[in-house]
Structure 1
Amino acid sequence: MTRRPTPLKQWRLRAASLALTLPLSLAVAAANKPAQGDYFERIATFPVYHNLAEGEARATETVAEITTASSDGSTLYYTDSPRQRLGLVDIRNPEAPRPAGFLQLEGEPTSVATHRHFILVAVNTSLDYARPDGVLAVFDIRDPRAPKRVASLATGGQPDSVAVSPTGRFAAVAIENERNEDLNKGLLPQFPAGHLNVVDLAGQPADWRIRKVALSGLAKIAGEDPEPEYVSINALDIAAVTLQENNHVVLVDLRRARVLHHFSAGSVDLHGVDIEENDRIQPTASLLGKRREPDAITWVGPLLATANEGDYKDADKVEGGSRGFTLFDPRGKIWHESGASLEQALIRAGHYPESRSENKGIEPEGIASARFGKRQLLFVGSERGNLVAVYDASKPWSPRLEQLLPTGVGPEGLLPIPSRNLLVVSSETDAADDGYRSTLSIYRLGAKRAEYPQIQSDPKQLLPWGALSGMVADRDARKRLYAVPDSYYKASRIFRIDAGRTPALIDGEIELHKGGSSVDYDLEGIAQAGNGDFWLASEGDGKKRPNLLLRTNASGEVLREYALPEAVAAQATSNGFEGVAVTGEGALERVYVAFQREWRNDPAGQVKIGVFNPNNEQWRFFHYPLDQAPDGAWVGLSEITAVDDERFLVLERDNRSGPDAEVKRLYGISIAGVEPQADGTTLPLLRKRLVRDLLPDLAASNGWVPDKVEGVALDTRGELFVVTDNDGVEDASGETRFLRLGRLRP
């Protein structure tokens, strides 16, 4: 819900004998339509493992969680919990961040903040949950890339968030004393209780004084055991503190080290959300009365914005996540509630994590606000959707979504640096074996248009999509494409895409059905027959799921399923059908199927391309020569696209991502004068020539290069389009690249 203030209205906040006036700043200019240059663009991605020490294995887990910058914005400092370090990154040139080493700490760093020429690092040195302890480590950064430790202040408990006031007079440290989730089903109370430390920043760091502010007895939920999570301070030296598990917000006057006011974060009703993990995105349900349970909090002018993660559970049920953000005034009155709107925006962008539907959905966790020029901007991070939403909050009671920024996996820390027009997002999830690493993503304000998403579903309808694994152009309509998702989602479908729009627009879907029931194939390729029917390739698993060639009509009815001959199918591995193309009509119709990798009877480095004749249902085959695989990787085919009756485009890729990606290439082949043969004979080996190396195109957006380049479409004017598979946002960033490569023929 949204409330609009009347001119010159003031809020008055009273606590005990203290009266404090917080004026609503109506001097903030009303937000107009963004002018040219008002969008962020990603200019660099820094993999945190680049900061590992010499001799440490490259696959060592190392993360960036919370980040701050030196006062001049030239150096980033990030917390690395697994390595018990503070990492440094040189961003004097933000387009080319450089590793600058690390500072070893005596425990787990949980947060970091900058105070003039010092950085304050909250370090957890607890022996266990029952004996929480920590220090506030202070470093002199007058030489930003050579910090010197100058003080260690005992925190008297396990510190979490640390913030410094804009006046520079105080710091506040949330002493969480977090609960043991394996004890008593993770329920509160679990003592000792948390509190807030107020640090007086007068004099030298060794002389800074810490005052304790008790937060017990305030919340209705486990009030005797507050767990402060996050803290933000305004220009009046008032700290706003979230008690996440207690579903409460507390305001503290730092000058007097007293609680000014406190209020429940309340609950929210959500409509149009997915609450069932059934391998389908179905945003049709409602969640009523869900506690907000805010994680991060930030001041937005006179208002408070909370990222409502919805993290806690009571004795009877999991609360299920509140999935949005809220703007409160300092008395706890709601001025704006996002409800399900942010989650639905991520659904349209293909970033919805279906595997989290029964838990916390997109899980908003990080939130930050800063003024860039004349605009007050609000940044909301989705930990599970791997996006940061940028809102114009110049009218803080009515923030407007401006753009979505793709991140690494698990964005945690959001750091605006307005002095350099930069935003830095630290993504903490690091899994070398799964092909993604913890990263720092750097964005710069100044682009004339939003660069992302490159493809989305129609803003006028809530059309879920993701995991695009094959694509084809309409035979008659320019820039009209069709794409299929793979088996990540149940209930197979075909998406209609209008590539004449920017971003490309998924404006409809055709759900496949057979005998009146929905079907579930592992679709990896799509082609369109001359009469408008579709040919689809469904990949087998080498065990129970067979490789199938399907024919459907234009409305999605499965007309026929064609399997391989038994002798051929017996040679299958887990990597089967991957792309499909069709040429000719009637008696001349032929269907071509790309196999992803070598089967048991294939020579090393050679993979089959099958040729199916629908008229006599016979199969014949070619061999295709794969590029050399990088060490420890494999190379295979992802797509085959017909240019004419004899020429094809073939997409070849390795299974590497990020800086390790090497093979993402589009080749041209011709079958002119080459006759396919039955399997079991010596198959003719096709010749190929490089049409385009796609690595520069994939790296052009300065993000993590995806491994799964999967769909290629060539429209009636010869315009070439390529799309990547985002793996349904599970163990992947969820980012989908939709490349427009211009007119290109092999």
Structure 2
Amino acid sequence: MLFRTFCSMLALGATCPALAEPVFNRISSFATVDNMAAGEDRARPTSAEIMTATPDGNELIYSDSPLGAIGLIDITDPAAPKPLGNIAMDGEPTTTVVLGETAFVGVNTSESYVKPSGVLRSVDLKTKKVVASCDLGGQPDSVALSPKHDMIAIAIENERDEDVNDGALPQMPAGFVVRLPIKDGQPDCAGKQVIELTGLAEVSPEDPEPEYVDFNANGDLVVTLQENNHIVVIGADGKIASHFSAGSVDLQGVDTEKDGKLDFTGSLKAVAREPDTVAWLDNDHFATANEGDWKGGSRGFTIWKRDGSVAYDSGPDFEHALIRIGHYPEHRSGKKGVEPEALKFAEFDGQKLLFVGSERGNAIGVYDVASPAQPKLLQILPSGIAPEGLVAIPARNLMASANEADLVEDGGARAHVMLYERAEGKAAYPTLVSEKLLGWGALSGLTVDPADASVLYAISDSAYKAQPSIYRIQTGQQPATITDKIVLTKDGEPAKKIDLEGIAADGKGGFWLASEGNPDPEKAVPHQILHVDAKGAIQKQIELPADLVAGSTRFGLEGIAVAADGTLWMAVQREWKDDPKGQVKLLNFNPETGAWAGVRYPLDKGEGWVGLSELAIHGDRMYLIERDNLVGQAAALKQVTSVALKDLKPAPLGGDLPLVEKRVEHDLIPDLKQWKGYVQDKVEGMAITPDGTVWTVTDNDGVDDASGETLLWSFKLGAAQ
């Protein structure tokens, strides 16, 4: 199975044959802000957390904690989801389950951590009104509906305050599990059963803090006590059948330090699993996502037998799979890595599938778990930012993810729900993988190998400031493959204070590189160009003229190209202090004479800011990427333009620079929409082969406040869009 979509995670360079096995591909995404009513403040944070579907599979319902509401989406046409609005919950919604035409929503109404409270609200989905509430006696987290539709279970977490005593346990009052029988389609509040969980866990037996609950077909309930690193199985009779520690794992081949480099040679000993989400696979096995929340987090998932023995543990394998597709969050290395949090099990046409969502890696692993002791990785799907909830709708061959992060306050992507369809075909994602655990991401420039047009070289920017690198990419198959990583060195050590944003092959096996620089004294990265050999050793470092740098900003060099006369051309991303508004410099440098010159380039107007991200020379024209800095629905300007080389008549710096005329060649926004996610912000790399094929790549920002998606694609110059 693994070979069918990834051509083996161990040998991703192999060409994938066309097979008719069904695969999941993203078909649409829905921004939760679109559920706001007309006239509402769309600048408010919103979210999509835990999510469920109506029995007919035509609606999705997600909890929106920032708005204190549940959001509804019409997915009758899953390729074009429509807003159905929000329903206020008078509290913080946690988890929703649906029976018939009624949604049952766990709502946190707590006054404080020490005075927790909560209710289960009944919502008529036709009228969109709250019609009843059951007092739960504490703060609810997970809610589960039994497969027989005769019982609702709620984990009453009574969560800890992480700002008190560094979040250490115990913090009273203790949590518990509530079971509510269902009579005539409604919970029987008077029949509420409280199941105490104190005295079980070794970590803090007086403060269990139950996190997640799930029923199996027999009515047994499994409960995770995340901070306590413990698991409890409650029988259908409501009595505790068994309980056991979730144990720990030793990890090899992991990055353990947040240090600006990708180093997967570390190890961790006795890491507590601290499982979050749990899901039954059958009546005898269940899986946990081992996110960690206090002291642990083993970066993977575990499949358990109900007696507490381990049938399978992924160890670092799940994280390694995300590393190979560029979804590793290096900024989380000192903590819990990719943080698996969401889980969902479902059968699609008899195929038993487990979906594992990485909260920090922003991706979903799809595993065949026909044999619980030997799961097989089939695919990794792009999820959006921080997948919190997963929904499977096998009857419609659909799956959906709810992504909680809303970056509106930072001008970033909004929270999204994303939908995927299972059908015959090829996986559209990933577009780029590495053969080994090279570690890569934040690609910011491209160039073509002069000796082999099927080979590209890319660079990573300051997301990995302690490890500036060049990557060799073999195209010609889907996905393209990174076959080598060349770390820049100076005097035999990894180079420092470099922010790579442009690369051009020098035709002699080496490369010219552009480093963006930052004049901020605290950053102190110089604006410069570098010449390196084939092994990445720096041969020359050439700083920009002092008079020019005096007017610089942090928005510096973006892209570099070698002209036919041997001079170098570089684009400056945005206006510097000496530029007229709406004009940026294209700089020219002669390596033989050391002379600098330039021209000015006219930027289009747009929202946010507009600037240049890359340039390349092909035929008789220079091609540039011009874009705004906006993302998602706000993105309006991402394009390839060109300037005739005959019109590039650079003048010496310090005087008037000629203004060139540009021509728009290609709108990149339709290209960016083909993966059916939100429109990515940073189209930063472009290279053109001799036959006019344009390769373009996005910068995934090192998976830091970004989806982590790297989109690599090509098109022909002059081709109709």
TM-score, normalised relative to structure 2: 0.94
Inter-CA distance 406–534: structure 2 relative to 1 (3 Å threshold): same
Deviation at 1:675, TM superposition (A): 1.9
**1:466-505 correspondence runs (5 A):** 466-489=441-464, 490-505=466-481
Partner residue of 2:174?
193
**Residue deviations 1:82-137, cap 9 Å, x none?**
11111111111111111111111121111111123321100111111111111111
**Residue deviations 1:221-274, cap 9 Å, x none?**
2112111100111110011110111111111123x2111111111111111111
Q: Find the aligned partners of 1:230 and 1:171 in 2 and give their Cα distance.
A: 13
Aligned residue identity for 1:237: G
Deviation at 1:480, TM superposition (A): 0.2
Inter-CA distance 266–34: structure 2 relative to 1 (3 Å threshold): farther
Partner residue of 2:394?
418
Q: Is the Cα contact below 8 Å between 1:86 and 1:104 reproduced in 2?
A: yes
Say if 2:134 is the partner of 1:122: no
Deviation at 1:603, TM superposition (A): 1.4
Q: Is the Cα contact below 8 Å between 2:647 and 2:660 reproduced in 1?
A: no
Partner residue of 1:152?
133
Q: Is the Cα contact below 8 Å between 2:229 and 2:274 reproduced in 1?
A: yes
Q: Find the aligned partners of 1:181 and 1:582 in 2 and give their Cα distance.
A: 55
Q: Find the aligned partners of 2:256 and 2:95 in 1 and give their Cα distance.
A: 33
Deviation at 1:323, TM superposition (A): 0.5
Q: Find the aligned partners of 1:728 and 1:744 in 2 and give their Cα distance.
A: 32
2:280 equivalent among 293, 299, 302? 299
Partner residue of 1:354?
330
Aligned residue identity for 1:87: G
Inter-CA distance 674–124: structure 2 relative to 1 (3 Å threshold): closer
**Residue deviations 1:387-446, cap 9 Å, x none?**
111111122221111111112211100111111111110010112132111110111111
Q: Is the Cα contact below 8 Å between 1:150 and 1:205 reproduced in 2?
A: no
Q: Find the aligned partners of 1:322 and 1:204 in 2 and give their Cα distance.
A: 40
2:656 equivalent among 682, 694, 699? 682
Deviation at 1:180, TM superposition (A): 1.6
Aligned residue identity for 2:58: S
Q: Is the Cα contact below 8 Å between 2:87 and 2:129 reproduced in 1?
A: no
1:397 equivalent among 373, 379, 393? 373
Aligned residue identity for 1:638: S
Say if 2:594 is the partner of 1:610: no
Partner residue of 2:196?
214
TM-score, normalised relative to structure 1: 0.91
Partner residue of 2:70?
86
Q: Is the Cα contact below 8 Å between 1:194 and 1:227 reproduced in 2?
A: yes
User: Which secondary structure state, in structure 1, belongs to the residue aligned with residue 211 of structure 2?
Assistant: strand
Partner residue of 1:363?
339
Partner residue of 1:642?
617
Q: Is the Cα contact below 8 Å between 1:68 and 1:77 reproduced in 2?
A: yes
User: Which secondary structure state, in structure 2, belongs to the residue aligned with residue 388 of structure 1?
Assistant: strand
The alignment of Structure 1 onto Structure 2 pairs a total of residues equal to 696
Q: Is the Cα contact below 8 Å between 2:380 and 2:430 reproduced in 1?
A: yes
Partner residue of 1:729?
703
Aligned residue identity for 1:238: D
Q: Is the Cα contact below 8 Å between 1:671 and 1:686 reproduced in 2?
A: no
User: Which secondary structure state, in structure 1, belongs to the residue aligned with residue 277 of structure 2?
Assistant: strand
Q: Find the aligned partners of 2:153 and 2:82 in 1 and give their Cα distance.
A: 31
2:630 equivalent among 650, 653, 656? 656
**Residue deviations 1:284-312, cap 9 Å, x none?**
11111111110000011231100001212
**736-745 vs 302-311, which moves further:** 736-745
Inter-CA distance 58–609: structure 2 relative to 1 (3 Å threshold): same
Q: Find the aligned partners of 2:422 and 2:294 in 1 and give their Cα distance.
A: 36
Deviation at 1:373, TM superposition (A): 0.6
Q: Find the aligned partners of 1:253 and 1:116 in 2 and give their Cα distance.
A: 25
Partner residue of 2:38?
54
**1:319-398 correspondence runs (5 A):** 319=296, 321-398=297-374
Q: Is the Cα contact below 8 Å between 2:693 and 2:716 reproduced in 1?
A: yes
User: Which secondary structure state, in structure 2, belongs to the residue aligned with residue 740 of structure 1?
Assistant: strand
Partner residue of 1:65?
49
Aligned residue identity for 2:506: A
Q: Find the aligned partners of 1:393 and 1:34 in 2 and give their Cα distance.
A: 24
Q: Is the Cα contact below 8 Å between 2:99 and 2:185 reproduced in 1?
A: no
Q: Find the aligned partners of 1:147 and 1:212 in 2 and give their Cα distance.
A: 29
Identity %: 46
Q: Is the Cα contact below 8 Å between 1:542 and 1:575 reproduced in 2?
A: no
Aligned residue identity for 2:438: L
Partner residue of 1:541?
518
Q: Is the Cα contact below 8 Å between 2:152 and 2:187 reproduced in 1?
A: no
Inter-CA distance 147–674: structure 2 relative to 1 (3 Å threshold): closer
Q: Find the aligned partners of 1:606 and 1:119 in 2 and give their Cα distance.
A: 55
Partner residue of 1:512?
488
Q: Is the Cα contact below 8 Å between 2:514 and 2:529 reproduced in 1?
A: yes
Partner residue of 1:454?
431
Say if 2:220 is the partner of 1:238: yes
Q: Is the Cα contact below 8 Å between 2:18 and 2:426 reproduced in 1?
A: no
Say if 2:287 is the partner of 1:311: no
Q: Is the Cα contact below 8 Å between 2:262 and 2:467 reproduced in 1?
A: no
Q: Find the aligned partners of 1:184 and 1:34 in 2 and give their Cα distance.
A: 57
Aligned residue identity for 1:183: V
5+ long unaligned stretches in structure 2: 1-16
Q: Is the Cα contact below 8 Å between 1:151 and 1:206 reproduced in 2?
A: no
Q: Find the aligned partners of 1:182 and 1:542 in 2 and give their Cα distance.
A: 37
Partner residue of 2:144?
163
Q: Find the aligned partners of 1:50 and 1:666 in 2 and give their Cα distance.
A: 30
User: Which secondary structure state, in structure 1, belongs to the residue aligned with residue 409 of structure 2?
Assistant: helix
Aligned residue identity for 2:276: D
User: Which secondary structure state, in structure 1, belongs to the residue aligned with residue 173 of structure 2?
Assistant: coil
Q: Find the aligned partners of 2:142 and 2:647 in 1 and give their Cα distance.
A: 69
Q: Find the aligned partners of 1:389 and 1:201 in 2 and give their Cα distance.
A: 34
Deviation at 1:606, TM superposition (A): 1.1
Q: Find the aligned partners of 1:324 and 1:82 in 2 and give their Cα distance.
A: 29
Say if 2:670 is the partner of 1:696: yes
Tell me the C-alpha RMSD between the 2 structures.
1.6
Inter-CA distance 206–383: structure 2 relative to 1 (3 Å threshold): closer
Q: Find the aligned partners of 1:64 and 1:283 in 2 and give their Cα distance.
A: 32
Say if 2:224 is the partner of 1:247: no
**Residue deviations 1:185-212, cap 9 Å, x none?**
2111122211111111122526452111
User: Which secondary structure state, in structure 2, belongs to the residue aligned with residue 479 of structure 1?
Assistant: strand
Deviation at 1:743, TM superposition (A): 5.7
Inter-CA distance 526–635: structure 2 relative to 1 (3 Å threshold): same
Deviation at 1:673, TM superposition (A): 5.0
Q: Is the Cα contact below 8 Å between 2:45 and 2:409 reproduced in 1?
A: no
5+ long unaligned stretches in structure 1: 1-32, 314-318
Partner residue of 1:26?
none
Q: Is the Cα contact below 8 Å between 1:78 and 1:87 reproduced in 2?
A: yes
Q: Find the aligned partners of 1:257 and 1:212 in 2 and give their Cα distance.
A: 9
Q: Is the Cα contact below 8 Å between 2:180 and 2:188 reproduced in 1?
A: no
1:40 equivalent among 12, 18, 24? 24
Partner residue of 1:591?
568
Q: Is the Cα contact below 8 Å between 2:181 and 2:187 reproduced in 1?
A: no
1:565 equivalent among 537, 545, 554? 545
Say if 2:538 is the partner of 1:554: no
**Residue deviations 1:437-473, cap 9 Å, x none?**
1110111111411111101111xx2110010000001
User: Which secondary structure state, in structure 2, belongs to the residue aligned with residue 130 of structure 1?
Assistant: coil
Q: Find the aligned partners of 1:649 and 1:745 in 2 and give their Cα distance.
A: 15
Q: Is the Cα contact below 8 Å between 1:41 and 1:447 reproduced in 2?
A: no
Q: Is the Cα contact below 8 Å between 1:541 and 1:575 reproduced in 2?
A: yes
Inter-CA distance 230–206: structure 2 relative to 1 (3 Å threshold): closer
User: Which secondary structure state, in structure 1, belongs to the residue aligned with residue 534 of structure 2?
Assistant: coil
Deviation at 1:710, TM superposition (A): 0.4
Q: Find the aligned partners of 1:569 and 1:83 in 2 and give their Cα distance.
A: 46
Aligned residue identity for 1:694: L
User: Which secondary structure state, in structure 1, belongs to the residue aligned with residue 430 of structure 2?
Assistant: coil
Q: Is the Cα contact below 8 Å between 2:351 and 2:368 reproduced in 1?
A: yes
